[in-house]
Structure 1
Amino acid sequence: MLQRVRTNLAHVDELLTKPAHAMDVVDTRAMGASELEKRMGEFGDEWNYGIKQLKKFSGKAVKALDRIEKKFSGLDRELARQLSKAARKK
């Protein structure tokens, strides 16, 4: 499960790149009304900012999950070693 979440977070960038690009290239002048043009431009800027924040968050989350996975693997190995050691003493 941890690996699946990590993989999904690692692909957030790929998932959002196309919509971000589409929002970036929208010609707001095609809206025909100056207030609508302005608001669409602001929306595009907000969308791009939000996607950049999601990319930043997902990258940090992937690194954190990698560290967690490494720690769990180490704990599993140590537990197995200790259980094996205890079983030999009996």
Structure 2
Amino acid sequence: MSDLYIDGEMLSRVRRNLGNIEDLLGKPIRAMADIDAKAMGTKDLERRMEDFGEEWEYGIGQLRKFSKGAAKTLAHIENTFEKLDLDLAAALSKAAKEK
């Protein structure tokens, strides 16, 4: 039988880092949305810059969304494991008293 072990500090650190990524990516998303392709001069370059901005805005938005979801999932794992650990400790304590 194996022991179940989760490094709580590491889990918390990863969750915080993912949360920070979500915040960090908000700035480039807004910057990409503000690109004015008309300043480029030619129609073809304008169109390509708009496409570039839209693709990056979408991609960064997806990274932001996924990092937020991953941070939320890790928080749930962390909370569930803490509850499981407390429940297990209580059950073991009760079993020891019954002997």
Q: Give the alignment's TM-score, normalised by structure 1.
A: 0.77
Q: Which residue of 1 aligns with 2:79?
A: 70
Letter in 1 for 2:65: K
Aligned-pair distance for 1:87?
5.2
2:68 aligns to what SS in structure 1? helix
Give the root-mean-square deviation of aligned CA atoms.
2.1
Task: Tell me the CA shift for residue 86 of structure 1.
Answer: 5.4
Determine helix, strand or coil for the equivalent of 1:26.
coil
Alpha-carbon distance in structure 1 between the residues aligned to 2:22 and 2:91: 41
In the alignment, structure 1 segments of 5+ residues that lack a partner are: none
Unaligned runs of 5+ in 2: 1-9
The answer to which structure has the higher helix fraction is 1
Structure 2 residue 52 is the aligned partner of structure 1 residue 37: no
- Structure 1 stretches of 4+ moved >4 Å: 85-90
Aligned residues: 90
Percent identity of paired positions between Structure 1 and Structure 2: 54
Q: Deviations over 1:31-76 (max 9, x none)?
A: 2232221111001111111122223212221221121111211222
17, 22, 27: which is aligned to 1:18?
Answer: 27
Q: Supply the distance in 1 between the matched residues of 2:68 and 2:26 (Cα, whole angstroms).
A: 14
When normalised by structure 2's length, the TM-score is: 0.71
Q: 1:24, 1:64 → 2: CA distance?
A: 29
Aligned-partner residue type, residue 90 of structure 2: R
